Every structure is written in C-alpha cells, then in structure tokens.
Amino acid sequence: MPMSVRDLFDLTDRKALVVGAGSGLGRASAIGLADFGAAVIAADLDAAAADETAKIIAAAGNTASSMVLDVTDTAAANAAATEHPDTEILVVTPGYNVRRRLLDTTDLDFDRVIDINLKGSYRLMRAFGATMAARGKGSIITFASFRAQVIEPGQGLYAATKAGVVQLTKTMAAELGPAGVRVNAVLPGTFETPLTAQIKSDHDWWGAYEQKSILKRWAQPEEIAGAIVFLASDASSYVTGSTQLVDGGWTAADGRFEPTV
C-alpha cells in the first residue's frame, strides 16, 4: 500500500543534530523535529542552554540529548560527525551579526562574522556531508536569511555571509545529490529571537520591520518549525538545492506604497 502523505512527515528513529539549539530558531527547530519523532541532539556553545532544550523535549515525551559544540572549531565539527555517524538530519542555525555600516567595521568584525556564519556552516556541512554520503542518505538544512537577497544599511557583513551560505548549500546539493544526500537552505525573515534583540530595543526600527512584511507582524520562533520538518522529512524527497523563504512575504512586495485602486 502506498505511504500516506501524513506518513511522509514521520521522522521516527531518525537522528537529528540541531546546532544552535540552545535558543531561538535552533530551539524551535529541535522541538519541532522531536515532535515528529526524531531523536534530537541539541548542540550549542552554551551547555546549559542546550541541556535546557533537551529537557523541554524530554518533558514532552520525546527523545533528546545535548552536547557542547563550537562551530568555529574544525576539530570539534569533525569529532561530532565521527561520534554521530548515523545522523540523518543536520540543522545548522548559528548566526552572528555586527550591525554597523561597512566603513565603520573592522577586519576583526569581518573575521568574526565569517568564522561563525559562513565558515561555521561550511565546517559542519563538510563533516556531516561526508558521513551522510557514505551511508547514502541524509538531509542537511542550513540557515541563511532573507538578507541573502535583500539588504539594509548596516548589515552588509551579515548579508554577505548569508549569501555565501546559500551558494555553499547549492554546491553541496549538487555534489552530494548522487549519493542520496539532500541539502537545502532556510531563509528566515523577521523573527523575534536573541539575534534581533537590538532591533527590538529600538521602537522605530522594530515598528518599521513590523509594517514591512505582508503579514504586518514579527514571527515567533516556533513558526520556523514547519519548514524544518518538511525539509528534514520524506515529504521533501525531491527537494534539494532550494532556498526556502520564511519571511512573511517581506521579499514578495516592495512595500513602498499601497495605491487606492
């Protein structure tokens, strides 16, 4: 009997490593995957935060553990892939932003943003891509941003790294597709997370973002989970090399003016 569409989303007995699971979109992703049956490893630089995510998942009757992982450490990324060679789902969420205009940034700013956002994603994709390819299956989900497509003054370094993540994602999808590994990028829009706390502290900035999206509001972290579950599961078995926007319609409309026609 053919599998039902509902069953395509079932992640039972699949191991998922969510990096950056200690808060925000990473935590929401981890909880969402666990709700659909995945055995989740919540990884984060902050051990206490990762452990808290694992406890939240376990309290709901699902399976989870936690680990410390620094995405700027190549050896740590390689060790994680070696320790968990049966990982079928990798979600890479960590992000770092320096909100300053390019003329005011420094080489240290550049190196830090690159090391976490772009090279951090690269380290994990390379390490787990190899083990997944060897097993002949797997789904890698990277986190880029709507800033990979549209920019704002003061976020040039962040935008550049997220555009780079998109291109790394497409390349790895092309290279690992024949081995049965799918690789896709999620491009979140305006989500209320620790990463956007600086914007929330500025009433005008926060309100302008709120009005720009078609839905006229900020998103909550749990609203990312549907896209993650879809890309992790067999429901997206023919989806790879894609960029999935979750931006409330921000990039669909220019938002300059609503004519009375």
- 158 is a catalytic site residue: yes
149 by DSSP, 3-state: which? coil
Whole-angstrom distance, CA of residue 45 vs CA of residue 79: 15
> For the packed helices 24-35 and 47-59, what is the interaxial angle rounded to 10 degrees?
30
Whole-angstrom distance, CA of residue 169 vs CA of residue 71: 17
Give per-residue burial for 212-222: e unless 16+ CB within 10 Å, then b: bbeeeebbebe
Q: In what order do the strands lie in the sheet with 138-143?
A: 64-68, 39-44, 15-19, 87-92, 138-143, 181-188, 243-246
- Marked catalytic residue, from 122, 158, 209, 238: 158
By annotation, the residues acting in catalysis are: 158
